[in-house]
Amino acid sequence: MTANLAGSRRTGLALLEERVTLKQGAGGRAMRALIEDIFLDGAPELSPKDVGPLAMDDGAALWIGDRWVVVTTDSHVVHPIFFPGGDIGRLSICGTVNDLAMMGATDVLALTCGAILEEGFPRTDLERVRASMAEACRESGAPIVTGDTKVMGRGEIDGIVLNTTGVAVTNRIVRDCGLRPGDRIVVTGAIGDHGLAIMAARHQLALEGDLRSDVAPINGLIRAALESAGESIVAMKDPTRGGLSSALHEMADKSRVGILLEETRVPVHDAVRAAGDLLGIDPLHVANEGKAVIGVAPEAAELLVETLRAHPLGREAAIVGTCLAERPGQIVLDTGFGRRLLAEPEGEPLPRIC
């Protein structure tokens, strides 16, 4: 890895630059390169049953006694902090609960919350954010058991940063690298709502009447899916930064399969597609905060979709693709009009989306 990057630096194809750029915080290849080059340097060796940082999955899983303890952490910076369909408080709970669920750990034992506030941040906004966190905790059944608060000077951070860490235990781990040729790809609902809602709000396009973030805790939905489809579910990932495209690229790359994605089957709300056209942004490349991508054995795919659709957060679930032995690591997009490769996003078109 290091040698390759040194080579690319010489040729001008610099994934890693001398200073950190926003692109490196936005999902996709550049962010993964930064993490691999800096933060995974010297990562610990874990026992074979464990899932550690080198797996770059949604969380870590540590085999303790007769089951796994799953741990994940996430920091939340979003602009604007209040947006159609949610706010940074709801986002901070859902992001961590959903990461645990993507590892197969749907019953959350505990969350922690670290809040860093900017001097001058309005107290009424803080109360609104806290109430929203409490609501999301109630929906997901995840309690916040400890926390931390720091205040920084005006201009030293932008308003508010929330970090949440989550812990859960589970008898079965689901990785993001378990896809096999022939497996079907299922999404649990419409794609692109969060990213386009944020961008419309940020650009003050006043499009938000039909554009709402999908931010929601989906551990209950995933619990139902795992109870119904069981071992047939072979991989899961939540399509947050970099959207469905980035999630599928990562899953395909780690699993060494190709994926044929049928765009006309991907549920996308009309308002999201149209806003994407207006802004020149592909809904497949923007964040979702209440959705999952699930790899499932072909014979169980219909049953899985039926189960998901019976749940309020999975009504628009659909089978959207098939894993291929050919083109490992690549996503072939069938647009309904023709086929092309889906390029991996190099970063969000705009920073700080989740």
Residues at the contact surface with other proteins, assessed by CB under 8 A = 11-14, 201, 204-210, 260, 264, 270-271, 273-275, 277-278, 280, 324, 326-327, 330, 332-343, 346
Nearest C-alpha neighbor of 246 from the set 176, 304, 190: 176
* DSSP 8-class letter at 199: H
Which helix (H) or strand (E) element contains residue 277? helix 270-279
Q: Shortest approach of other proteins to residue 274 CB, angstroms?
A: 4
Nearest C-alpha neighbor of 90 from the set 289, 352, 298: 289
Q: Shortest approach of other proteins to residue 206 CB, angstroms?
A: 4
Q: Shortest approach of other proteins to residue 339 CB, angstroms?
A: 4
Tokens of 200: 């419309």
User: Is 279 in a helix, a strand, or coil?
Assistant: helix
Nearer to other proteins, 166 or 283 (CB): 283
| C-alpha span between 353 and 285 (Å, rounded) | 12
Nearer to other proteins, 10 or 123 (CB): 10
Residue 85 half-sphere exposure toward CB, CA atoms < 13 A: 22
- Taking only Cα atoms into account, the Rg of the chain, rounded to an integer number of angstroms, comes to 20
Nearer to other proteins, 146 or 264 (CB): 264
Nearer to other proteins, 261 or 308 (CB): 261
Q: Residues 6 or more apart from 147 whose CB is under 8 A from it?
A: 112, 113, 114, 115
Nearer to other proteins, 33 or 221 (CB): 33
Q: Shortest approach of other proteins to residue 18 CB, angstroms?
A: 14
Q: Shortest approach of other proteins to residue 45 CB, angstroms?
A: 35
